[in-house]
Structures are given as C-alpha cells and as structure tokens.
Amino acid sequence: MKNLSQFITILCFMFLISCKNKQEGEFHQAYPVLTVTSAPAEIKESYSASIRGRQDIEIYPQVSGTIFRLCVQEGEKVKKGETLFVIDPVPYQAALRTATANVHAAQAQVETARLTYESKQELFRENVISEYELSTARNALSVANAGLEQAQAQEVNARNSLSYTEVKSPSDGIVGILPYRTGALVNPSMAQPLTTVSDNSQMYVYFSMTENRLRALIRQYGSPDETIKQMPSIELQLNDGSIYEENGHIESISGVINQQTGTVSVRSVFPNENRMLFSGGIGNVVIPYKMDDVIVIPQSATYELQDKVFAYKVQENGKLSAVQLQIEKLNDGTDYIVRSGLRPGDRIVSEGVGLLQDGMEILVKETEKQ
C-alpha cells in the first residue's frame, strides 16, 4: 500500500513538471521580428481597368445598290482611304454622263442667250428695239446662267454619288465582321453596318482613382495638368497575370468625382502596334510612386480590432506592447504604409500576430529589416 502511494506521488510530480515545461515552451515561443526602417521607396499600386479601342467606326454606304466587290477580309489591317467595298457603279456612271450632257446643253443655251443679248444691246443703241425687248434678252441670259449652275450642281452630285460607290476606310484600323457579301442590296438607312473599322493602334485603358489618392498626386506635382505631364510611365497587367510589354501614360483625368463611388475616372494610353490588346478586355493598371522617408510593413505584421489596425512592438525585455497604427492601404494586397504609430528602429512581430496578446514575452526568432 505504501509503495502504491509513492508510485502515485511520483506520477503526479512528473505530470506537474510536464505541464510546467509545456507552459514555459508556449510562453517563450519564438516569433519572427523585423526592425522598422524609414527610407525612400518606389511603391506600385494597381487599379482595375477596362481596355477600349481608340475608336470603332461603323461603316455605312452613302448610296444604294448591290455590292459589286469585296476588297478586304475580316480582321485585315487597313489604312485610311483604302477601299473596303465597291457598289455596282453602272447606274451612277450613267447618271454622271447624263449630268455632264446637261451641263453641255446648258452651256450652249447660255452662249446663245449671251449672243442674243449682245445683239439686242447693239440694236437698242441704234434705237431699233425698245427697252422692253432688251430687258427680255437680259432676263433670258440670267435664266440660262441659272440653268447652267443647276446643271453643274447636278453633275457634282452625280460625280460624288459615283465616288461613293467605292466605300473607303475613314481611318487606319482593323476590319470587323463582314455580314454582307457580293450581290447583297445595301442602302444608307439599313440597320446593320457594312462592317466596323476599329482603330486599335493605340488603346485607351480606363480606371478609377480615389479622391484622396488624386489629391495626394496633385499636391505632389502642383496641379492636375502637371500631374499628367510628370507622372511616370505606367504598366498594364493583363487578365492572365502577365505584364504587357509596352508602357503607357496617363492622358486625361476627369474633373468630376463620382458621387456614388467617390472615385475619379482616369484615361491612359498604351501603344498596340503588335495588336496584343483587344477592345473590351480587362486588366490592372500598375502605377509607380516615389515616396521619401516612408515606413512600409507587411500586412501579416498587423491585426484588426474594432476597425482599428494594431501591431505588436517588441520591448527590450522581450515583452509585447500593442500599438495602434495609422496606415494607408496599398493595392498590392501585401503591404501597408505606416503614417503614425511606429518609428524607425522599432521592432515588431512580422508573422503570427493572431496568436499573441499584449504583455506576452516571446523569443526573437530572427531579425529582419523593413
């Protein structure tokens, strides 16, 4: 019985020792710690963006008729003034010949009326005819001149109509879908265009920026116009995560703040000579910012409590002190800019802060500089 009592006592003693060791292991668990530094930094922020062609022009015929010839293929690159379609020109050629003949006839009538008027003037000077007959001849010449001008205007219209049988591209671009083929009857009032020419040599990339960020940029550069001029080149991250090979620049900033979102619309331009960008696509605009003497820490070094952001500062004795931070979120989703709450030289826990409490004592696993 005595041996049993001693055995139980030994077991209890060993259990207490193991619990104490376990508590001490938890109490002195090592955590990674970084030393906060302040230095100039280039920070990249990304903004969701939509990609649009510079302009998409719907092509409609200016005259009626049947398509005589297709001169391009879908997706073909065309230059300004290049012929896309030819509408049957025969009726318009005949109309032009008729209009030209009418001009010739009107010119003959004008010449006849002029000769008559000049003859009447001579007879009037010799008092052979009355002033009435002279006025009649003068009026006949005016009517003939008016007829000539009308015939010439009709000739111009006929010539223009004939030129419109060749439907030309109004700009450089890419030919879209061709819903009409040779023999199709087309007219200026039809609902569906002959095709669309998209000018994609440069692409407009639209994104929105918060009012606070825009004001910070304006304070940095002096004015919206100077912001546009001095902003560095920007990058475009495509929807598949790759970075577009050409850099772009900001071209315009809207002067109106969206009351619902509190953002300002910004338009940037990217070259697209290799036709890698497509109108209607999406991506992210990446903008670099150069900032002087800023503190940047990883988001993993912070935790939130009641909509406030905190970090654990490591004291000299190894104990933790929770400090509230004033931060600015970066769109990269990994870092914060610290505006207040930390100073260069402070040490903070960089990972695992969700397991810690204010006043705990830890072991420093490693020291990093941020």
Residues 298, 321, single domain; the answer is: yes
Residues 205, 178, single domain; the answer is: no
* Structural domain ending residue among the three candidates 233, 257, 292: 292
Residues 6+ apart with CB under 8 A from 1: none
Q: What is the pLDDT of residue 270?
A: 96
Residues 204, 284, single domain; the answer is: yes
| Residue at 306 is within a domain | yes
Structure tokens at 363: 């072991």
pLDDT surpasses 60 at 15: no
| Residue at 4 is within a domain | no
| Residue at 9 is within a domain | no
For residues 108 and 117, give the distance between their C-alpha atoms in angstroms, rounded to a whole number: 14
Residues 324, 218, single domain; the answer is: no
- The CATH number that applies at residue 256 is 2.40.30.170
The pLDDT tens digits for 238-273 are 999 899 999 999 999 998 998 888 899 999 999 998
The pLDDT tens digits for 112-166 are 999 999 999 999 898 888 999 999 999 999 999 999 999 999 999 999 999 999 9
Q: What is the pLDDT of residue 367?
A: 56
Closest CA to 220 of 151, 288, 120: 288
Residues 206, 277, single domain; the answer is: yes
The pLDDT tens digits for 312-329 are 999 888 889 999 999 877
pLDDT surpasses 60 at 5: no
pLDDT surpasses 60 at 4: no
Q: What is the pLDDT of residue 16?
A: 47
Residues 266, 313, single domain; the answer is: no
CB 210 within 8 A of CB 262: yes
Backbone dihedral region for residue 359 (phi beyond 0: left; psi -120 to 50: alpha; all else: beta): left
The pLDDT tens digits for 77-105 are 899 999 999 999 999 999 999 999 999 99
Residues 117, 144, single domain; the answer is: yes
The pLDDT tens digits for 49-73 are 999 988 889 999 999 999 999 999 9
- Residue 330's pLDDT band, with cuts at 50, 70 and 90, is low
pLDDT surpasses 80 at 311: yes
Residues 120, 157, single domain; the answer is: yes
Q: What is the pLDDT of residue 115?
A: 95
Average pLDDT of the segment spanning 208-227: 88
CB 193 within 8 A of CB 60: yes
What is the domain extent for residue 186? 61-85+170-192
For residues 165 and 51, give the distance between their C-alpha atoms in angstroms, rounded to a whole number: 35
Looking at the structure of the chain, the number of domains it has is 4
- Average per-residue pLDDT for the chain: 87
Instruction: Determine the residue type at 72.
Output: V
CB 321 within 8 A of CB 278: no
* Structural domain ending residue among the three candidates 277, 292, 307: 292
| Residue at 230 is within a domain | yes
Closest CA to 64 of 189, 193, 178: 189
| Residue at 283 is within a domain | yes
- The CATH number that applies at residue 141 is 1.10.287.470
More confident residue, 278 or 333: 278
Residues 99, 130, single domain; the answer is: yes
Residues 207, 300, single domain; the answer is: no
Give the best-scoring range by mean pLDDT among 144-148, 213-217, 285-289, 302-306.
144-148
The pLDDT tens digits for 22-57 are 444 444 578 889 989 887 777 788 899 999 988 889
Q: What is the pLDDT of residue 3?
A: 52
Q: What is the pLDDT of residue 100?
A: 96
Minimum mean pLDDT range among 22-36, 173-187, 246-260, 283-297: 22-36
- The CATH number that applies at residue 342 is 2.40.420.20
Residues 81, 176, single domain; the answer is: yes
Supply the pTM of this predicted model: 0.57
Q: What is the pLDDT of residue 370?
A: 52
For residues 166 and 168, give the distance between their C-alpha atoms in angstroms, rounded to a whole number: 6
